[in-house]
């Protein structure tokens, strides 16, 4: 079709205007696109930040097979995170997995903090403590006080289920865990069975009963079980580290010379086993005032310092000691000297 010069001249402004429009549009897009991307990125980062200062708390249970979508909705509905969408997107970017368990979370944690928590399995833990110088009955009561029920506490302390543990190598067939639970604090998860806490304590006891220490006990003329019994008496008699080797020396000398140990804590322990008032006059096999040798079992758990005192008693020749009302333990060579110190320094305590 023939186009005149006039038609061509008429179309040039329109083409120029259209080209100019697209050029402006392209410039606008080139300017707005980075701004939009930057704005979106800044919004996304803001949604990943912690929404609060940690005052809003949640105990989150992540079950086996749970997904980030489920977790995101629960966290968002509890105001722990700002955006479920931002959580899900960040989880995909990091390609993290969920470890099932119980978690304590709060609104002072960022999404990145939470994802690290869940992927590393840093589940909620609690501290379970076995106190030193504790009887088995006291350990059981303390377990109950720390949140375990009575049945679980009683079952966890039955020795038969741990017979193959190296810490119990010297335990007589009829023996209990008395004296064999090493005092320590154990950090465990909320769903850790109490029997596992007992095993952890036995693990520590096994480390304490090293071959060198066992040889040291035998060097004193004692079996390993007898060494633990004697260490438990030392544990109950004195707490001062410097006094323990001397007290151990007194008891070992008495054992070697056939003199009753005369330990008040053993008598009180025996009374407690048969439901009597805890006095030194209770007639039980544990009364080492009236019975020779060691009591039938340990009377409490033991520390390393008490066992080491039995292994390395002091190089002294004392036969008596008394812990005074002032907390100081005084040692004597003769009965006359001991009775004088008792009258002078143990007025109240020695009446118990």
Q: Is residue 19 in a domain?
A: no
Beta strands in 150-195 (DSSP E): 184-189
Instruction: Tell me: pLDDT of 5 over 60.
Output: no
Q: Is residue 7 in a domain?
A: no
> pLDDT > 70: what percent of the chain?
89
Q: Is residue 51 in a domain?
A: no
Per 3-state DSSP, the chain is made up of helix, strand and coil in percentages (nearest 5) of 50, 10, 40
Measure the CA–CA gap between 176 and 162, rounded to whole angstroms: 10
SS3 106: strand
Comparing 27-31, 125-129, 169-173, 217-221, which segment has the lowest mean pLDDT?
Answer: 27-31
User: What would the pLDDT profile of 341-351 be if each residue is shown by its tens digit?
Assistant: 989 998 877 76
Instruction: Tell me: pLDDT of 238 over 70.
Output: yes
- For the chain, the domain total comes to 3
The reply to whether 155 and 96 lie within a common domain is no
Comparing 100-104, 130-134, 288-292, 345-349, which segment has the lowest mean pLDDT?
Answer: 345-349
- DSSP, res 100: P
* Residue 41 pLDDT level (bands cut at 50, 70, 90): confident
Distances (CA, A) of 171 to 157, 213, 236, 277, 292: 14, 16, 20, 29, 21
Measure the CA–CA gap between 293 and 38, rounded to whole angstroms: 84
Identify the top-confidence range among 14-28, 43-57, 298-312, 332-346.
298-312
Q: Is residue 233 in a domain?
A: yes
Q: Is residue 61 in a domain?
A: yes
Nearest-CA neighbor of 297 among 131, 172, 167?
172
Could you tell me if 236 and 133 are in contact, meaning their C-beta atoms sit under 8 angstroms apart?
Answer: yes
Among residues 166, 187, 208, the one where a domain terminates is 208
pTM: 0.76
Distances (CA, A) of 16 to 11, 12, 19, 25, 114: 9, 6, 5, 14, 57
Task: Provide the 10 A C-beta neighbour count for residue 155.
Answer: 13
Instruction: Tell me: pLDDT of 235 over 70.
Output: yes
Domain hosting residue 81, numbered range: 57-120
User: What would the pLDDT profile of 97-126 be if each residue is shown by its tens digit?
Assistant: 999 888 999 999 999 999 999 999 988 888
Q: Is residue 340 in a domain?
A: no
Instruction: Tell me: pLDDT of 2 over 70.
Output: no
CATH number of residue 116's parent domain: 3.30.1490.480
| pLDDT for res 78 | 95
Residue written as tokens 């930040």?
49
The reply to whether 145 and 225 lie within a common domain is no
* Residue 168 pLDDT level (bands cut at 50, 70, 90): very high
Four-residue CA torsion sign, 39, 42, 48, 49:
negative
- DSSP, res 98: P
Nearest-CA neighbor of 76 among 92, 88, 63, 93?
88
State the Cα angle at 61 between 55 and 65, rounded to 5°. 140
Q: Is residue 42 in a domain?
A: no
- DSSP, res 107: T
Among residues 155, 185, 208, the one where a domain terminates is 208
């Amino acid at each position: 079709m023939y186009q005149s010069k006039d038609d061509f001249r008429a179309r040039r402004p329109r083409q120029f205007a259209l080209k100019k429009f697209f050029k402006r549009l392209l410039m606008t897009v080139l300017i707005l696109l980075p701004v939009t991307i930057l704005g979106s990125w800044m919004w996304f980062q803001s949604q990943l930040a912690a929404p609060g200062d940690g005052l809003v708390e949640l105990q989150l249970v992540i079950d086996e097979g749970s997904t980030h979508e489920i977790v995101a909705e629960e966290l968002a509905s509890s105001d722990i995170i700002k955006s479920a969408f931002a959580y899900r997107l960040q989880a995909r970017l990091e390609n993290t997995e969920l470890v099932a368990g119980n978690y304590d979370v709060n609104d002072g944690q960022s999404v990145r903090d939470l994802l690290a928590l869940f992927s590393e399995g840093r589940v909620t833990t609690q501290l379970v403590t076995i106190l030193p110088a504790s009887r088995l009955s006291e350990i059981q009561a303390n377990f109950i006080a720390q949140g375990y029920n009575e049945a679980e506490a009683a079952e966890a302390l039955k020795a038969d289920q741990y017979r193959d543990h190296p810490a119990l190598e010297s335990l007589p067939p009829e023996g209990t865990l008395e004296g064999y639970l090493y005092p320590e604090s154990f950090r465990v998860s909320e769903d850790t069975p109490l029997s596992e806490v007992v095993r952890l304590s036995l693990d520590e006891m096994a480390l304490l009963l090293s071959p060198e220490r066992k040889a040291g006990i035998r060097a004193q003329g004692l079996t390993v079980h007898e060494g633990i019994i004697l260490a438990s008496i030392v544990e109950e008699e004195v707490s001062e580290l410097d006094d323990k080797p001397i007290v151990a020396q007194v008891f070992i000398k008495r054992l070697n010379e056939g003199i009753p140990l005369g330990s008040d804590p053993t008598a009180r322990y025996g009374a407690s086993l048969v439901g009597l008032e805890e006095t030194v006059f209770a007639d039980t096999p544990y009364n080492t005032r009236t019975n020779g040798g060691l009591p039938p079992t340990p009377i409490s758990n033991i520390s390393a310092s008490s066992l080491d005192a039995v292994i390395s008693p002091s190089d002294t020749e004392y036969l008596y000691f008394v812990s005074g009302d002032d907390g100081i333990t005084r040692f004597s060579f003769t009965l006359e000297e001991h009775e004088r110190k008792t009258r002078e320094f143990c007025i109240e305590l020695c009446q118990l």
